[in-house]
Amino acid sequence: MTSEPRLPELKSAPAPMTGAAEGTAYACVMQCNRCGFCTSFCPTYLATGDEALSPRGRNQAYRAVLEGRIPHASEGDRLFSTCLLCGECTTVCFSEVPTAKIMGNARGKIFRQEGEPALLKFILRFILPRPRWMGYIFRAAFLMKKAGLSRLSNRMGLLGWISRELSAAEDMVDDVPWLFARERLKAPARSPGGPAPDVVFFLSCGSHYLRPSVAESTAYLLERLGVSYALADNVCCGLPGMTYGDFEAARRLAVINIDRFEKYPDSVILVDDSSCAATLKDYPSLFQEGTADHTRAVRLSGRVKDLSEFLKDQKWPDTSGAEPVTVTYHDPCKAQYAQKIVSPPRTVLSAFPSVELTELPESDQCCGGGGTYSFMHPDISREVLSRKTANIMSTGAEVVLTSAVSCLIQVDYGLRRARSGVRALHLSEFLKRLLDRPH
Ligand code: SF4
Ligand code: SF4
């Protein structure tokens, strides 16, 4: 097992979430010829107008770190930590410089030099692998919300005084459920030794703890489509560890998930959150090639399907006569850049004659959600979001759809702030409503 994950070969259309051995990171940084073509596509540059917060600025800063011209990587922390890891810059760059992966490496370098903050390490390595502990935290958040304590303390400025990130989180997250998705879903009974289910359903943390209606809707769709499924007893996919540069934390979660999915060797691994789907597909980059863990990760990643990839081949019940509805679609970066998924959700929607899809202007742009990014960097995140919200409202659509809970919470927050009547729904939630309606 290596201490750092690998970067892909250059020119290989990388998924934008892993870090790299420093030598490889340096080779990648050196591929940047500083042309600046990527700059006008980068959401953080567009939001701030700050060249340092562009892909070129970030790559050159990390080059200076790796060459020893900047002795402490933490001096570049503002540049490295504010990258949304969206991956758009790599898509438009002629050299395909994997800036998002390089930024993952840069964040890891800060930890190697300065040590990882104890609280972050505790969350990534102790809490995330333990769903019960995750549950305690979200139940505490539910009680605070229910009693109005979190909102009140935020209004009084108390939360902001304790932590700017907590204050931003309280502002954004409208509702926290008491019952999580796993408790709401009735897992289909499976007899031991019976036929393998068609799919094994990965429960993402976003839909499990924050928006269980997404998982419930996905389960409903599977039932309506006659697809047999089992609920996976998975843990977090590891994306937070990859995001923050703690690859060991990500690797530990990957090993647990690989073990658990091997119980269903012949079933498709279905993921209804594009961020988690991209992460599971990226597992091989966490392990040294030629090792048993790498082989197992390759096998797992080949079985993963993002929801729309799976749904595009399904035969849908007849919904003719349904009320017309206009929608627009926000492509999560982890779908369009990390997995190259753009047409599948559109193919799914085209199967419903009552649905009119209006394309979203600047659909190539990130919404600024980025998991915990919206809490950690609320100013940039909200600036990026304002542009997304204005674009959504300009379409005149009644509903905006997406396929990642992080994007859903972010877009929903932007629309609420703008007092817009546009509803934000996950693709599963929308399809369930379509099938539920009397025709
Ligand atoms: S990352 Fe690519 S597009 Fe951007 S400045 Fe470097 S070479 Fe040019
Ligand atoms: S990954 Fe996204 S936010 Fe980061 S430098 Fe590239 S375009 Fe900008």
Q: How far is the CA of 97 from the centre of ligand 1 (A)?
A: 7
* Mean confidence (pLDDT) of the chain: 87
- Please tell me the predicted confidence (pLDDT) of residue 171: 66
Residue 269 is given by DSSP the state E
Q: Would you say residue 405 has pLDDT above 70?
A: yes
Domain with 404 in it: what CATH number? 3.40.50.1860
Give the mean pLDDT of 145-168: 60
pLDDT digits (tens, 9 = 90+) for 2-20: 444 454 433 333 333 344 4
* DSSP E strands, 187-263: 199-202, 229-231
The residue to mutate among 89, 102, 103, having the most atoms of ligand 1 within 8 angstroms of its beta carbon, is 89
**Contacts of 119 by beta carbon, 8 Å cutoff, 6+ apart:** none
49 falls within a domain: yes
Q: Is 380 in the pocket of ligand 2 (CB under 6 A)?
A: no
Q: Determine the structural domain holding residue 97 and report its residue range.
A: 22-114
Q: How far is the CA of 89 from the centre of ligand 1 (A)?
A: 8
Q: Please state the φ and ψ torsions of residue 428, each to the nearest 5 degrees.
A: -60, -45
Which residue, of 89, 114, 139, is where some domain finishes?
Answer: 114
Give the mean pLDDT of 110-116: 88
The helix or strand, by DSSP H or E, that contains position 247, with its residue range, turns out to be: helix 247-261
Q: Closest Cα to atom 8, ligand 1: which residue?
A: 35
Q: Is 57 in the pocket of ligand 1 (CB under 6 A)?
A: no
Q: Would you say the pTM of this structure is higher than 0.85?
A: yes
Looking at the CA of 83, name the nearest ligand: 2
State the closest ligand 2 atom to the C-alpha of 87, by its place in the atom list counted from 1.
1
157 falls within a domain: no
State the closest ligand 2 atom to the C-alpha of 45, by its place in the atom list counted from 1.
8
Tokens of 110: 């800060």
141 falls within a domain: no
388 falls within a domain: yes
At 375, the pLDDT band (50, 70, 90 cuts) reads confident
Q: How far is the CA of 133 from the centre of ligand 1 (A)?
A: 42
Tokens 């810059």 identify what position?
A: 89
Looking at the CA of 94, name the nearest ligand: 1
Q: How many Cα atoms are found within 13 Å in the side-chain-facing hemisphere of 366?
A: 31
pLDDT digits (tens, 9 = 90+) for 209-256: 889 999 999 999 999 999 999 999 999 999 999 999 899 999 999 999
Q: How far is the CA of 100 from the centre of ligand 2 (A)?
A: 6
* DSSP E strands, 108-152: none
Q: How far is the CA of 84 from the centre of ligand 2 (A)?
A: 6
415 falls within a domain: yes
Q: Closest Cα to atom 2, ligand 1: which residue?
A: 93
Domain count, the chain: 2
The helix or strand, by DSSP H or E, that contains position 23, with its residue range, turns out to be: helix 22-30
**Contacts of 10 by beta carbon, 8 Å cutoff, 6+ apart:** 27, 28, 31, 95, 96, 97, 98
85 falls within a domain: yes
Which residue, of 82, 114, 146, is where some domain finishes?
Answer: 114
311 falls within a domain: no
140 falls within a domain: no
The residue to mutate among 44, 105, 334, having the most atoms of ligand 2 within 8 angstroms of its beta carbon, is 44
CB 228 within 8 A of CB 197: yes
Q: Is 85 in the pocket of ligand 2 (CB under 6 A)?
A: yes
pLDDT digits (tens, 9 = 90+) for 33-47: 999 999 999 999 999
Q: How far is the CA of 90 from the centre of ligand 2 (A)?
A: 8
pLDDT digits (tens, 9 = 90+) for 280-318: 999 999 998 889 999 999 999 999 999 999 999 999 988
Tokens of 187: 């897992």
Domain with 92 in it: what CATH number? 1.10.1060.10
Q: How far is the CA of 59 from the centre of ligand 1 (A)?
A: 9
**What is the rounded CA–CA span in Å between residue 45 and residue 99?**
14
Give the mean pLDDT of 396-411: 96
The residue to mutate among 38, 54, 101, having the most atoms of ligand 1 within 8 angstroms of its beta carbon, is 38
Which residue, of 114, 141, 174, is where some domain finishes?
Answer: 114
The residue to mutate among 42, 60, 91, 97, having the most atoms of ligand 1 within 8 angstroms of its beta carbon, is 97
Task: List the one residue out of 63, 3, 97 whose CA is nearest residue 286.
Answer: 3
**Contacts of 403 by beta carbon, 8 Å cutoff, 6+ apart:** 272, 273, 274, 306, 307, 308, 332, 335, 345, 426, 427
